[in-house]
């Protein structure tokens, strides 16, 4: 194998630089810690329900800012009336809150709930610290990050997580097809005697696969061509296959963007028109406020 590797038939594996490998360890642990606070939050909601506090009956998101402030007030010994004040801009009928917050919430329930709240706050602080270190370590790769940010569905943290997993050098993969297969989002090919079976995707890199699926979900809710593709695939193939299809498309786009060092441009979307639509109301409202616009007859 060493002779074949030196002569050319074998392609070298992806070995990112040491700085990228160190950031990858932080990024993967940051990804794994995302589910830990969610499990504890769900356990906290179940304990509250056992004590008669049916927070989910009046709040669509029991983990939101208003709901968290409401729960903290109750756990700190506040009354339902005080909790209503702490709720802030909660989009729930105020007359329904007292009935949902008054229950047989004993001291044992409060003790268990307070105990669950402690690791939630610790995990959130730990996750925020990991995110800060991850973003700080990716500063030297600002050029690649700026290219990834032009792709719909990728935010600052998503771009950094992508960079630490795949690096910024695509020469190790050779083509977009090999790159998609390495990511685990390439559709399978199961055909025999003219009959096509279920083409399952390969397992490949589970961290990259999960990341592309997450980005595909975000891209399906943007103003881009991925939205139309997602809706078309959902109608014909179902939601899960549609997510894999969009993830496959985004993976190929990432390969082209990082290989050619050019930003992504959506041919179906006029970015300049979208920017004008977003900023025009504010720029028109301010001159009207100070009577700077000419009065039309």
State the number of CA atoms in the 13 A half-sphere of 9 facing the CB. 4
- Report residue 32 CA to chain centroid gap: 13
Q: What is the pLDDT of residue 215?
A: 92
Q: Is the dihedral of CA 42, 44, 50, 56 positive or negative?
A: negative
Q: Which H or E element spans position 191? A: strand 191-192
Q: What is the mean pLDDT of each run of 10 residues along the chain (297 residues)?
A: 61 76 90 86 89 80 81 82 71 70 83 91 91 91 91 91 87 84 80 73 82 91 86 88 90 91 79 69 76 65
Q: What is the pLDDT of residue 7?
A: 63
Q: What is the pLDDT of residue 129?
A: 93
Q: What is the pTM of this model?
A: 0.74
Q: What is the pLDDT of residue 216?
A: 92
Q: What is the pLDDT of residue 295?
A: 60
Distance in angstroms (rounded) separating the CA atoms of residues 68 and 47: 14
Q: Measure the CA angle with vertex 102, ends 100 and 108; round to 5°.
A: 115
């Amino acid at each position: 194998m060493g002779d074949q590797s030196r002569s050319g038939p074998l392609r070298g594996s992806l070995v990112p630089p040491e700085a990228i490998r160190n950031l990858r360890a932080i990024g993967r642990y940051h990804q794994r810690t995302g589910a830990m606070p969610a499990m504890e939050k769900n356990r906290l909601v179940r304990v509250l329900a056992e004590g008669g506090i049916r927070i989910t009956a009046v709040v669509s998101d029991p983990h939101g800012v208003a709901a968290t402030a409401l729960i903290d007030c109750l756990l700190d010994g506040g009354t339902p009336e005080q909790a209503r004040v702490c709720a802030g801009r909660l989009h729930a009928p105020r007359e329904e809150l007292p009935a949902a917050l008054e229950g047989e919430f004993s001291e044992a329930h409060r003790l268990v709930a307070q105990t669950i709240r402690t690791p939630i706050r610790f995990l959130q602080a730990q996750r925020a610290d990991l995110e800060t270190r991850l973003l700080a370590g990716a500063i030297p790769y600002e050029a690649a990050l700026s290219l990834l940010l032009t792709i719909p569905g990728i935010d600052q943290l998503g771009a950094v997580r992508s960079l630490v997993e795949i690096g910024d050098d695509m020469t190790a993969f050779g083509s977009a097809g090999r790159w998609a297969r390495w990511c685990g989002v390439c559709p399978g090919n199961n055909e025999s005697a003219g009959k096509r079976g279920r083409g399952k995707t390969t397992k490949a890199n589970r961290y990259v696969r999960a990341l592309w699926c997450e980005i595909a979900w975000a891209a399906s809710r943007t103003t881009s061509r991925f939205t139309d593709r997602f809706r078309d695939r959902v109608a014909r193939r179902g939601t899960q296959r549609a997510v894999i299809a969009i993830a496959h498309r985004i993976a190929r786009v990432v390969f082209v963007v990082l290989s050619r060092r050019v930003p992504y441009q959506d041919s179906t979307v006029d970015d300049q028109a979208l920017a004008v639509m977003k900023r025009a109301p504010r720029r028109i409202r301010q001159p009207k406020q100070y009577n700077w616009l000419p009065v039309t007859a």
